[in-house]
A and B are shown apart, each in its own frame.
Chain A
Amino acid sequence: MLRKLFKFHGGVKPQTHKTQSTTQPIARVPLPERLVIPLHQAVGGHPRPLVAPGDKVFKGQRIGGADGSLSSAVHASTSGIVRDVAPALMPHTSGLTTLSVVIEPDGEDRWGELDKVNYRTAPPDELRDFLRDAGVVGLGGAVFPSYAKLKPGKEGRLKTLVINGAECEPFITCDDLLMRERAADMLKGIVAMRHMLQAEEVLIGIEDNKPEAVAAVQAAIAASGQSGIQAVAIPTRYPAGGAKQLIRVLTGIEVPHGRRSTDFGVQCFNVGTAYSIFEALEFGRPLISRVVTVAGNVDQPRNYEVLIGTPMDHVVRQSGARPDTDRYIMGGPMMGVRLPAFDVPVVKATNCILVGSPALFPPPPPEMPCIRCGECAKACPADLAPFEMYWFSRSKNFGKAQEYHLFDCIECGCCSFVCPSHIPLVDYFRFSKSEIWARERDKSSADAARDRFEFKNFRQEREKQEKAEKLAAKAAATREKVAADSQAGTASPATEAPDTAKPAAPSAEDTKRALIAAAMEKARQQKAQIAPKNTEQLSAETQADIDAIEARRAATATPPTPDA
């Protein structure tokens, strides 16, 4: 059955460079001397470390626990001893460090006790929790925790489950090889996802420059006897592998600004994710390795099954890096990020290590002024006007840039690719986005500070007022009490005293005197109640001294208190 396909706006056709790394099957990489596994590898909360230096860990043992509502666990990739839990450089342009677990492999590569789940009978909720603890995240590059996406929309069922095997970026072939070699297992993962999402149909989108992968997946579907699953060859056009673009091509649905694809009954997963879901559900194996393409400035470009945490230079060594290598890029040439060092670890987001050299990726020609030719708008797959966003980003007019839907930009790099003035447009957009986020953070913290400051002032005023009220109430109570006392006391003398014409003036005076007397009485009582300390087990001399002092004190204290 031939399916009607749709087109997305824009896109480019860069040279694919894919044939070099697909000549040989996926190879395993020997165990490195040490593995550095960052705990924060996926979108969402930072996982908590569950191991300490010196602990022995098994392959597949959880070393970072999911924390918060959106977070994904991290596992030991091999058996060995934890050497350190400390910040280490992560594969990110910033060159920042993140809390990582350093494992020294013992060479046995022994699996520990694995949790298992019967995915054919277990309810979807249990499967989601299981996948969260198995650390399964989207392997297409966004590393979004998969369990959070495996929820059907409001209607409780999904129309179309889209599986992304497009792999549009040049050089990268990890999904291609995975589909060629492991199509049957991947399909089992897809069937499990379909069950969890209650999806009517499944569409596996593969670019038509991968005929072997299309054939392998189609053969696997035929062999499995599943109905409603279709592998579709789609035209090769970058970025057909973008989730929104692939959904557009396969279903014709255009997901508008601010909406999710599930609102339209569509959800999209990468083929690598489907395979790791199969591994997790079938064998209980968490996500501890992934297929990584090593390409670019190497003697033998190839795909490897790499343990998470393996240093990148260790992987590249298998392919033979050429001597003029000056950089590693994680991802492809369009969207990849330049890495701060060669020995950063492979993480769940690493689909490709692109080895660069000045000859392979020469420095870009100097940036020229924008001539408003509109080529970038023609190429933009998100239907934006990059040249407008560029003007506003460049002049730091972020509000206007946002009005031109800066946040719908998927940073695919098509605009920079076609720009005749060699303007690094995506760099400007990334800069603008992070500035806007920083400003929003600043603004919300300023608002919080203002609220707290105003509340503190309000609280201080309130406390002052409460204190004043309390004092006034107490004073009033004492006055009343004394007045009552004095009335009872003066009731009889009042009959004797003839001067009752002006009772107000003397009573005020009396009250005051009575108040003072009451306070003095209270103080004396308190003083009397204080028991002397350290008076046990005293020697006779000390006791005698104390007695003498007490006698003196009594003698001096008696004269002023005869009237009391």
Chain B
Amino acid sequence: MLTALLVMTAVALVLGALLGYASLKFKVEGDPLVEKIDAILPQTQCGQCGFPGCRPYATAIASGEADINQCPPGGEEGIRKLADLLGREFKSLSEEHGVEKPKSVAVIDENTCIGCTLCIQACPVDAIVGAAKQLHTVVAGECTGCELCIAPCPVDCIAMEPIVDTLDTWKWRYPVIQIKQAA
């Protein structure tokens, strides 16, 4: 009886030590869930979700502080992907955080810009180039369409222009399925 108890205790101790060692040795740095959520988010860095960027929002979702329907640029598809990943129910986009808009880029009206650099400081992805009292311009390819540059502009010279289809971005439509009428 005593031998059995001792053996079991010894085994438990050895296994416990092994587990403890493994948990230190193979410790996962950071939260892998945050990475996965961050990969789904559109990286617009617009802050419409109420967090300063996509990664903070991903962290908030992972810790349960934020809901999955707060990202207007990600749209319904983004919410669907998040719901799939987290095993939650799909929810429609929360209205207080904004509406889904077509993808657009900021364009600076060159006749109005006074070169104040306020938009440069506001741009989360450094997509605006210019210097004090020099004309600023948006690098269209890097612009995420976050609209954060619009509010700080003192002369209202920034407008959002929807991205038009070119031959390189044009997509074939989903084939129309003809449904035969019942006789």
Report whether over half of chain B's contact residues are helix, strand or loop; otherwise say mixed.
loop
Give me the 10 closest cross-chain CB pairs, A-B, nearest first: A452-B125, A446-B43, A434-B171, A449-B43, A427-B175, A430-B172, A366-B178, A94-B170, A431-B172, A450-B43
Contact B171 A449 (CB under 8 A): no
Instruction: Tell me how far the C-beta of B84 lies from the nearest C-beta in chain A, rounded to whole angstroms.
Output: 12
- A434 and B123 CA atoms in complex are apart in Å by 31
A94, A366, A428: which contacts B165 (Cβ < 8 A)?
A94
List, in ascending order, chain A residues with CB within 8 A of B53's CB. 453, 457
- A120 contacts the other chain (Cβ, under 8 Å)? no
In the complex, B133 has a CB within 8 A of chain A:
no
Asked if A435 and B177 make an inter-chain contact with CB atoms under 8 angstroms apart, the answer reads no
Tell me if A96 counts as interface (CB < 8 A to partner B): yes
Contact of B44 among A435, A449, A455 (CB under 8 A): A449
Q: A450-B54, A452-B126 are in contact. Are A431 and B169 (CB under 8 A)?
A: no
B167 and A447 contacting across the interface, CB-CB below 8 Å: no
By a CB distance below 8 angstroms, the chain A residues around B172 are 93, 427, 430-431, 433-434
| Cβ–Cβ < 8 Å partners of B54 in chain A | 450, 453
- Docked CA distance A452–B44 (Å): 11
Provide the main secondary structure of the chain A interface. helix
Chain A nearest CB from B95 CB (Å) reads: 25
Scoring A92, A447, A448 by chain B CB atoms within 10 A of each residue's CB, the highest score goes to: A448
Interface string of A1-42 (1 = CB under 8 A from B): 000000000000000000000000000000000000000100
Partner of A449, one of B45, B175, B177: B45
Q: Using CB atoms and an 8 Å cutoff, list the residues of chain A in contact with chain B.
A: 40, 90, 92-94, 96, 98, 366-367, 424, 427-428, 430-431, 433-435, 438, 441-442, 445-450, 452-453, 455-457
B179 surroundings in chain A (CB, below 8 A): 366
Is B26 part of the binding interface, using a Cβ–Cβ cutoff of 8 Å? no
B126-183 interface with A by 8 A CB criterion: 126-127, 141-142, 144, 165-167, 169-175, 177-180
Contact between chains at A94 and B126 (CB < 8 Å): no
Contact A449 to B169, CB < 8 A, known contacts A455-B126, A456-B126:
no
- B68–chain A nearest beta-carbon distance, Å: 18
By the criterion CB–CB under 8 Å, are B127 and A452 in contact? yes
**Best-buried of B127, B166, B175, B180 by chain A (most CB within 10 Å):** B175
Is B42 in contact with chain A by the CB < 8 A criterion? yes
- The answer, yes or no, to whether B124 is at the interface (CB within 8 Å) is yes
Set of chain B residues within 8 Å of A93, measured between Cβ atoms? 172
Partner of B175, one of A428, A438, A441, A450: A428
> Are B42 and A446 in touch, CB under 8 angstroms?
yes
Q: Could you tell me the distance between the alpha carbons of A447 and B125 in the complex, rounded to whole angstroms?
A: 11
* Complex contacts, B42 vs chain A, CB 8 Å: 442, 446
Residues of A within 8 Å of B173, CB to CB, are 431
CA gap between A90 and B170 in the complex, in Å: 13
Q: Of B44, B124, B180, which is within 8 A of A456 by CB?
A: B124
What would 16 more interface pairs be, CB under 8 Å, given A94-B165, A96-B165, A447-B43? A94-B167, A96-B170, A424-B175, A427-B172, A431-B172, A431-B175, A433-B172, A434-B171, A438-B169, A445-B144, A446-B41, A446-B42, A449-B142, A450-B38, A453-B53, A456-B126
19 examples of A-B residue contacts, CB within 8 angstroms: A90-B167, A93-B172, A94-B165, A96-B165, A96-B167, A96-B170, A98-B167, A424-B175, A430-B172, A431-B174, A434-B170, A434-B172, A445-B141, A446-B41, A446-B43, A450-B43, A450-B54, A453-B125, A456-B124
Bound form: Cα–Cα A370–B60 in Å: 44
**Complex CA distance for A450 and B126, rounded to whole angstroms:** 11
A93–B173 CA distance with the chains assembled, in angstroms: 11
Cα of A389 to Cα of B18 in the assembled complex, Å: 47
Task: From the candidates B126, B171, B180, name the one contacting A435 in the complex (CB within 8 A).
Answer: B171
A40, A428, A445 pick with most chain B CB within 10 angstroms: A445
- With A and B bound together, what is the CA distance between A183 and B34 in angstroms? 66
Residues of B within 8 A of A447 (CB): 43
What residues of B have a CB within 8 angstroms of the CB of A435 in the complex?
171
Name the residue on B nearest A92 (C-beta): B167
Measured between alpha carbons, how far is A138 from B169 in the docked complex, in Å?
23
CB <8 Å contact, A453 and B177: no
Q: Are B167 and A449 touching (Cβ within 8 A)?
A: no
- Whole-angstrom distance between the alpha carbons of A447 and B144 in the complex? 11
Name the residue on A nearest B141 (C-beta): A445
A444 to B: closest C-beta gap in Å: 11
Query: Complex: how many Å from CA A457 to CA B174?
Result: 40
**A435-B174 Cα distance, complex, nearest whole Å:** 10
In the bound complex, residues from chain B placing their C-beta under 8 Å from that of A433 are 172
Given contacts A449-B144, A452-B142, contact A96 B166 (CB under 8 A): yes
CA distance A32 to B45 in the complex (A): 53
**Complex alpha-carbon distance, A266 and B47, angstroms:** 55
Q: Name B43's contact: one of A90, A453, A456 (CB within 8 Å).
A: A453
> What CA separation (Å) do A424 and B174 show in the bound complex?
11
Query: Within 8 Å CB of B180, what residues of A?
Result: 366
Q: How far is the CA of A366 from the CA of B182 in the complex (A)?
A: 13
Q: Which residues of A contact B38 (CB under 8 A)?
A: 450
| Residue among A434, A438, A447, A450 with the highest chain B CB neighbour number at 10 A | A450
Contacts of B171 in A (CB 8 A): 431, 434-435, 438
B127's nearest neighbour on chain A, judged by CB, is: A452
| Chain A residue at minimum C-beta to C-beta distance from B181 | A366
Output the least CB separation between B9 and chain A (Å): 50
Which residues does chain B contribute within 8 Å of A96, judged by CB atoms? 165-167, 170
Cα–Cα, bound, A435→B171 (Å): 7
Bound form: Cα–Cα A449–B123 in Å: 11
What is the CB-to-nearest-CB distance from B137 to chain A, in angstroms, rounded to a whole number?
A: 16
Question: With A366-B178, A428-B175, A431-B175 given, is the CB distance from A449 to B170 under 8 Å?
Answer: no
B contact residues around A450 at 8 Å (CB): 38, 43, 54-55
Instruction: Say how far B39's CB is from chain A's closest CB, in angstroms.
Output: 8
0/1 per residue, B13-46, Cβ < 8 Å to A?
0000000000000000000000000100111110
Closest chain A residue to B44 by CB distance?
A: A449
Tell me the smallest distance from the CB of A385 to a CB of chain B, in Å. Answer: 19
Contacts of B124 in A (CB 8 A): 453, 456
Which residues on the A side are within 8 Å of B127 (C-beta)? 452
Closest CB in chain A relative to B76 CB, distance in Å: 13
Contacts of A445 in B (CB 8 A): 141, 144
In the assembly, what is the distance between CA of A475 and CA of B179, in Å?
A: 80
Which chain B residue shows the least CB distance to A443?
B39
Interface centre among B41, B170, B179 (most CB of A within 10 A): B170
Q: A278 CA to B43 CA in the complex, in Å?
A: 52
Chain A residues closer than 8 Å to B43, beta-carbon distance: 446-447, 449-450, 453
